[in-house]
Each structure stands twice: as C-alpha cells, then as structure tokens.
Amino acid sequence: MAPPPQSVSLSLRRRKPVMLLSPAELLLMMLLLILVFFNTFGLSQNLIEYLPGFPGKLPFKFETGYIGVGENEEVQLFYYFIESESNPETDPLVLWHTGGPGCSCLFGIRNNIGPLIFDYSNSSASEPTLMLNKYAWTKVVNIIFLDQPVGAGFSYAKTSKAYYSNDTLSATLNYEFLKKWLINHPTYVDNPLYIGGDSYTGIIVPLVVNEVYNGIEAGRKPLLNMKGYILANPLTDQYSDNNGQILYAHRLGLLSDRLYQSAKENCHGNYINVDSKNVLCLSDLEKINQCLAKINFDQILEPQCEPSRKGKQDVLSRQISSYDRENPMD
C-alpha cells in the first residue's frame, strides 16, 4: 500500500466534530452539497464524473449514495466509494471511518488518504481548485468512506429519535451498512476486507470488527473476507492516551533526559490530575509546557500555525475524571 506523506503526531486527542474551514474549503463543501442533493435525491447510488474545482473528467470511479439501516431504515448513512485505480476486482476493500466523533468523511478524502487534495497555490476564496493526490491509498485499494454516526456529514435520520446514537449502536449500524452495501455491490464480496479509521474511531473500529467476526461465526450472509483492521492515531483510553504524551515527547527528542527523569520521579508517572500540593511535579510540568509551546501537536515536523490556535497550548490541560479512567469507552 502506498504510504501517505510522512507524519508524526504528538496528539492522541479526539478530533472535534466542528472543523474550521477556509473560505475555499467552505465554498467547495457548499458546491458538493448541491451536487450530492441533485444526484442522490430519490436514488440509492450514483456515479460522479465531474467535480467543481477539478479540470476535466475524474480519472477514477467515484460513487456516492445512501443506505438505510436500523429499525425501518430510519437511519440513512451516506457514503463515498472510490474504486482502486489498479485492480479493483482483486484489490482490498476498506471501510473507512473518520473521527470526531461526528466529522464528515470528506476530511479523510481531501486531507488524508483520498485521491483529491486542494491545490492551494492555484486556489482562491471564490475558486477552490483540486488536484490529484499522488499518495492516495485509492491507487491500490477500494475505499468506502462512511459518514458516521448518524448526523455526521450527509447522513441523517427520518425521525428525531433515530438521531440518538452511542458507540456500540453506531458500530452495529455500520456493520449493517457494510453488509447491505456488499449485497448491492456483489463484485467486492470476495475482496480482502479491512476496517479502518482514525482519531476517535479507535473506539468504533474494534467494535465494528467484532461485529464482523461475530457475523462470520454465525454464518450471516454475505460472508465477509475479513483480513484485518487499521487504526490511525487512535483514541483508545483517555487517561492512558493523555498521560502517555510525556513519554512520547521524550522519545521523539522533544524533552531532555534530565527533565523527563525529573518529571517522572516527581510526578510518579502520573501527569494528569496532579495534586496541587505537589510543587516539584507542577514545576516540571510547567517546564515541559514551555518546551512544547511552539510544537505542532498534530504534526511535529510542521510549523505551528498561530491563527489556528486560540489560547495557550497546554499538553496537560485536560482533566480526566476517575469515571473516564475506569470507563474509557463511555
């Protein structure tokens, strides 16, 4: 699988469901919304051959659509399917989840592993321009990008009650979606199947994988050719993820051995919910914050974009309750 551009992240935080968009990105989102509305209204699926901002016909198969899941199919999950540019009949099939929870999977398509990215050098606020992503996974993999849970992206519910969701329910509906999608696309049933996602979906993806394996053991049709799963910068446990940032920063060479050892001893390895009377620990943590103040947590090799950060960046600003520590998946 072709690797994406090198990226090193210090942050294991869940992505916020609301994303800040540039004017060009917002305009493209609006154009896509209009395009999706007119192409999917009354249809379960359709092919997109042209996109605003991209010159000419798309050089890959791009399908969008809705699949109803849940009771009386009250939940309508929207997806983008991009076929592999190599050997779609035999290349792996990936069901990709974007984090948040609640982020549109357009984020994964245009920012991470999809075939299109913004051509910023040739874009303006009124005319965003797209270009091909030479690192796209879709060069060798078929990918279903899923707007999930209900309410994310273009996915919606027919009743207010159906908008209720949680991690386990979302995983169950995502599995139902996958089965129905493969029934509608039998060509891909035998392809090697991978379930993937980033950020908050470090919680969701294992639950979906469990649903898949339970279905295989129960002999539910269609039988899925499950091969593995992918977790990218995943949230796993709020306490462990946040507390582990100090060790990770040290291993990346962002903290000196002397400062790291001092903090480890004075804080007893616990850098979250520190006792306000532990002056030595608090002093070490303040020094750590000073060392990391100008580090881009999401990509340490990239410069910090000051306008995107409001307020002081604090690696230890989170307070994790004992309930969160004991129940990381709630």
SS3 content of the chain, % helix, strand, coil (to 5): 35, 15, 50
Confidence of residue 301 (pLDDT cuts 50, 70, 90): confident
Least confident of 2-6, 127-131, 159-163: 2-6
Quick one: 220 exposed, middle or buried, by C-beta within 10 A (0-12, 13-18, 19+)? middle
On the CB side of 212, how many CA atoms lie within 13 Å of its CA? 23
Domain 23-232, CATH number (from 3.40.50.2000, 3.10.20.30, 3.40.50.150, 3.40.50.1820) = 3.40.50.1820
Sequence ranges of the domains in the chain: 23-232, 238-326
- Write out pLDDT tens, residues 212-227: 999 999 999 999 999 9
Least confident of 26-40, 56-70, 79-93, 109-123: 26-40
pLDDT of residue 297: 79
What is the pTM (predicted TM-score) of this model?
A: 0.79
Is the pLDDT at 33 greater than 60, yes or no? no
Is the pLDDT at 38 greater than 50, yes or no? no
Is the pLDDT at 22 greater than 90, yes or no? no
Least confident of 23-27, 218-222, 276-280, 307-311: 307-311
- Write out pLDDT tens, residues 49-58: 999 899 999 9
Mean pLDDT, the chain, whole residue set? 84
Residues 319 and 274: their CA atoms lie apart, in Å, by: 9
- The more confidently predicted of residues 212 and 18 is 212
Tokens of 272: 């979250």
Residue 183 contacts residue 174 (beta carbons within 8 Å): no
Mean pLDDT of 149-168: 95
- The more confidently predicted of residues 80 and 28 is 80
pLDDT of residue 303: 80
Least confident of 36-45, 104-113, 151-160, 224-233: 36-45
Is the pLDDT at 131 greater than 50, yes or no? yes
